[in-house]
Amino acid sequence: MFKICLFAAGCAIGGALVPVPKHMSTSEGAFRCRTADLATKVEFLKDAALPHEGYRLKVTPEKIQVWSSGDAGAFYAVRTLEQLADKTYVPDSKYAEVKRRESDYVIPSATIEDAPTFRWRGLMIDEARHFLGKEAVMKQIDLMADHKLNVLHWHLVDDQGWRLDLPKHPELAKYGAVRPRSVAFGAGAEWYGQKQKLKFRLNTDRYGPYCYSAEDIREIRAYAKARHVTLVPEIEIPGHERALLAARPDLSCRGEGKLERIPRVYWGIEHDVLCAGNDETIRYLESIFDEVCELFPDSPFLHIGGDECPKGCWKTCPKCQARMREIGAKDERELQVWFTRHFANYLEKKGRRVVGWDEVLYGDAPQSVIGMSWRMSANNGAGGDFVSAPEAAAKGHDMILTPSHYCYFSRRQGLAEDPYPYYDPEPFAEQTPRLELTLEKAYSYNPYAGFPERDRKRILGLQASIWTESIFTRFDFEWKAWPRTCALAELAWTGPGARTFDDFRKRMQIHRHRLIALRVNCSPIEQ
């Protein structure tokens, strides 16, 4: 009798739900109620046997019931119900306002049993290169919750900016939160000459100061918590450190007076890193981590970066060389292993688990450290110390997977028309044709590839990572993040291979109208 848009448009069971539930069956009839009354019509019940974050949702013409073992499951059941009840579109007329004005919900009868495949379902936002600000971040947290993503990996620190105004370390924001000049909009990576150097066009406008106050952090934390999103701040050590060194040049290997007191104004990696042989470096970082832990009391994880640390300064620094002799390190890479180990131990004593980019897994890194795998091979990034995700898992490390070719949504997305610039140096260097991370490519990612069955339990989860060298505002951010993050969300929640891309694309053509109704600058779903 009922005919509802969710099940039209040639969609398989599951209609336009994104991520699609693991198990869903439908039956005749529908639940009808006034739009304003829906919140009061749902009956919430406990079922301790259901997994954490899992839920059962039953819609009949008479009532709506939700079972879960805890708050997170109930929260996700309501997210699914919102999509079932959604009226922002009709498939035939694409986007019919008239449908939105109707005052009744007609929710199809259905039974859904659902639970996530992975515990870590992440989105990384880089605010060091460009600062999006509180409202934009809160909006992303809302969108994450709508797609059942639960970890915001917050890249707050890098060569180009320090975005935390720590009350006990005001020097960091004073020097690190502002660039006196910066790369102009649209000026991406352009290789020139034989030396394969990157050329950037700089503007002369000051960028910043932009940073979050302790009060901002408290506000965003509460907002995220209410949406079952865990914040994982990233404080990079020992490389990507130029913004910190602007505040404390004495902590570089070159020492005081040798560095201009500004963050890096170009993209790319800074040669100057923290001096690992200086005891004051260790003490200073400990006091920063103390304060970051105070600011994020309910974050069980802390990200310490660890990627792309050039070792040139360490090779010629008497303090670093003395440290290497003291600890018996045979090369500079082992000095980084020692450095990582020190802060992993320090943070574990404070009750945190340490996450680091895959470079931290080199050598005998502490097994408790969680690796965040981003490189597809030793040719990516600094290279040399490459440890693949399956290798690290075999050594006992829990892993979060965000391989750049599948999960870096700052990469080109292969649209027929695209008004936004992209910063993507790798294709210029090596690849012809240039790599394009289309929606289909994002959805095709198989996180289990290379993992023997016994090590799959080491995959904590998946993450979309979005770098902001060429992302200036929330509009560019949303254009690049959505809809590709929907693909990642479905892989992380429902699991890889659950549906065909064609099935996903058809649902996305409808779901995109939902995102547009939420004023998201979502890029098109192409045929």
Burial class of 309 by CB neighbour count within 10 A (0 to 12, 13 to 18, 19+): buried
By CB under 5 A, name the binding residues for Zn ion: 253, 275, 277, 317, 319-320
| Tokens matching residue 439 | 């929606």
Output 320 or 365, the one with its CB closest to Zn ion.
Answer: 320
Q: Among candidates 491, 489, 496, 525, which has minimal Cα distance to 510?
A: 525
* Marked catalytic residue, from 240, 397, 511, 513: 240
As a whole number of angstroms, the distance between CA 104 and CA 154 comes to 40
Output 236 or 469, the one with its CB closest to Zn ion.
Answer: 236
**CB 344 to Zn ion: min, Å:** 20
**CB 178 to Zn ion: min, Å:** 27
**CB 166 to Zn ion: min, Å:** 24
Output 252 or 388, the one with its CB closest to Zn ion.
Answer: 252
Neighbours of 161 (CB within 10 A): 31
**CB 149 to Zn ion: min, Å:** 39
Vertex 245: Cα angle to 217 and 334 (nearest 5): 100
Output 132 or 317, the one with its CB closest to Zn ion.
Answer: 317
CA distances from 394 to 208, 387, 426, 457, 458 (A): 44, 11, 29, 11, 9
For residue 16, report the phi and psi dihedrals to the nearest 5 degrees.
-100, 30
* Marked catalytic residue, from 308, 385, 476, 490: 308
In a 3-state reduction of DSSP, which class is residue 189?
Answer: coil
Output 73 or 277, the one with its CB closest to Zn ion.
Answer: 277
DSSP-assigned beta bridge partners for residue 199: 190
CA distances from 189 to 128, 315, 422 (A): 18, 29, 8
Output 131 or 343, the one with its CB closest to Zn ion.
Answer: 343
Residue 308 among the catalytic residues: yes
**CB 144 to Zn ion: min, Å:** 39
Helix H or strand E segment including 65: strand 64-68
As a whole number of angstroms, the distance between CA 488 and CA 448 comes to 14
**CB 384 to Zn ion: min, Å:** 19
Residue in this structure with the two tokens 């879960």, named with its chain if needed? 68
**CB 307 to Zn ion: min, Å:** 19
Output 183 or 309, the one with its CB closest to Zn ion.
Answer: 309
CA distances from 204 to 180, 272, 322, 400, 433 (A): 7, 24, 42, 39, 34
Output 77 or 275, the one with its CB closest to Zn ion.
Answer: 275
As a whole number of angstroms, the distance between CA 420 and CA 185 comes to 10
**CB 287 to Zn ion: min, Å:** 19
499, 20 in Cβ contact below 8 A?
A: yes
Residue 240 among the catalytic residues: yes
User: What per-residue string of b and e applies to 197-234 under the rule 16 or more CB within 10 Å gives b?
Assistant: ebebeeeeeebbbbbbeeebbeebbebbeebbbbbbbb
Output 317 or 372, the one with its CB closest to Zn ion.
Answer: 317
* Marked catalytic residue, from 158, 270, 272, 490: 158
Residue 153 among the catalytic residues: no
Q: What is the CA radius of gyration of the chain?
A: 24
183, 268 in Cβ contact below 8 A?
A: no
371, 391 in Cβ contact below 8 A?
A: no
| Tokens matching residue 77 | 């059941």
As a whole number of angstroms, the distance between CA 199 and CA 201 comes to 7
**CB 330 to Zn ion: min, Å:** 17
As a whole number of angstroms, the distance between CA 419 and CA 422 comes to 10
Residues recognised as catalytic? 158, 240, 308
